[in-house]
């Protein structure tokens, strides 16, 4: 799956955590996680993103051994049963390495290779595509009064530096994520989405807006369960602005929605 195909890719979220903001606890058991992967494959998922540590605002860090126990058996079981690319959503090099050994393919690092100095070596050893995301602070602190002078310029500069760093370290398969909701107020999220095409100058763009709280702030869904329409509206804008990968909870809805949108944008079915 590299270089990326000329069509939108759907990255399905599989949180094997008890406390993620939307689906925490639903897929913590191995059988539930596998049933979810099977359903996502039927809905047309391209990549399954397995995460064992919640990054919702205010979340506390998870000890290494706990995250390892959550993630590694699930990755191993998915690889044994299904033919699908697997991403591991982690900032810990040891978790990424063990997951890659058991069949994962991508690393999705919300710290953009900053939290664990060993992550670069792991990515290089496995030649894994790496998602570099912008976040202000840590998940526990990121929403404590985030401020910017020019959010688009500052996030762009951060990601430009992280891409350059990754390339100097020998990584070539890189994606960038502006980090919607990670240390941003509503106005910051809207500005980043409005100018999301600018980040495509750096690398292919992955976007994660699925059911996030900025949709509630716009009056388009009080609870996460009510935010699908708002999520799809943001996905439409991002697709038209050149975003390549969509990290989502609702695989089937996005696959159908983006198939129609791509056909219209291309002028043919």
CA atoms within 13 A on the CB side of 174: 26
Q: Which of 162, 212, 227, 244 does the annotation list as catalytic? A: 212
DSSP 182-233: SS--HHHHHHHHHTGGGGGGTS-BEE--TT-HHHHHTTS-SSGGG-HHHHHH
Comparing CA positions, the residue from 51, 161, 181, 180 lying closest to residue 113 is 161
Is 212 assigned a catalytic role? yes
Task: Identify the three-state secondary structure at position 16.
Answer: coil
Structure tokens at 44: 């047309």
Q: Which of 56, 136, 173, 247 does the annotation list as catalytic? A: 247
Is residue 50 within 8 A of residue 99, CB to CB? The reply is yes
The sign one gets for the Cα dihedral 171, 40, 246, 187 is negative
Residue 19: other Cβ atoms inside 10 A: 15
Question: Which amino acids are annotated catalytic?
Answer: 212, 247
């Amino acid at each position: 799956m590299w270089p990326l195909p000329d069509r939108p890719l759907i990255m399905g979220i599989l949180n094997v955590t008890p406390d993620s903001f939307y689906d925490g606890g639903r897929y913590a058991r191995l059988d539930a996680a596998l049933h979810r992967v099977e359903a996502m494959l039927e809905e047309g998922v391209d990549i399954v993103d397995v995460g064992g540590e919640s990054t919702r605002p205010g979340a506390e860090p998870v000890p290494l051994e706990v995250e390892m126990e959550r993630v590694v058996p699930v990755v191993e079981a998915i690889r044994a049963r299904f033919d699908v690319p697997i991403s591991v959503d982690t900032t810990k090099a040891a978790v990424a390495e063990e997951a890659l050994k058991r069949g994962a393919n991508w690393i999705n690092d919300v710290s953009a290779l900053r939290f664990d100095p060993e992550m670069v070596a792991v990515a290089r050893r496995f030649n894994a595509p790496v998602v570099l995301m912008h976040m202000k602070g840590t998940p526990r602190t990121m929403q404590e009064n985030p401020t910017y002078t020019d959010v688009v310029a500052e996030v762009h500069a951060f990601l430009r530096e992280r891409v350059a760093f990754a390339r100097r370290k020998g990584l070539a398969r890189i994606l960038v994520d502006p980090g919607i909701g990670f240390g941003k107020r509503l106005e910051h999220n809207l500005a980043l989405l409005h100018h999301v095409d600018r980040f495509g100058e750096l690398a292919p763009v992955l976007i994660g807006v699925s059911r996030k709280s900025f949709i509630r702030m716009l009056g388009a869904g009080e609870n996460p369960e009510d935010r699908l329409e708002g999520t799809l509206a943001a996905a439409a804008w991002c697709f038209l602005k050149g975003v390549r990968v969509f990290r989502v909870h609702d695989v089937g809805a996005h696959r159908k929605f983006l198939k129609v949108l791509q056909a219209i944008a291309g002028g043919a079915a």
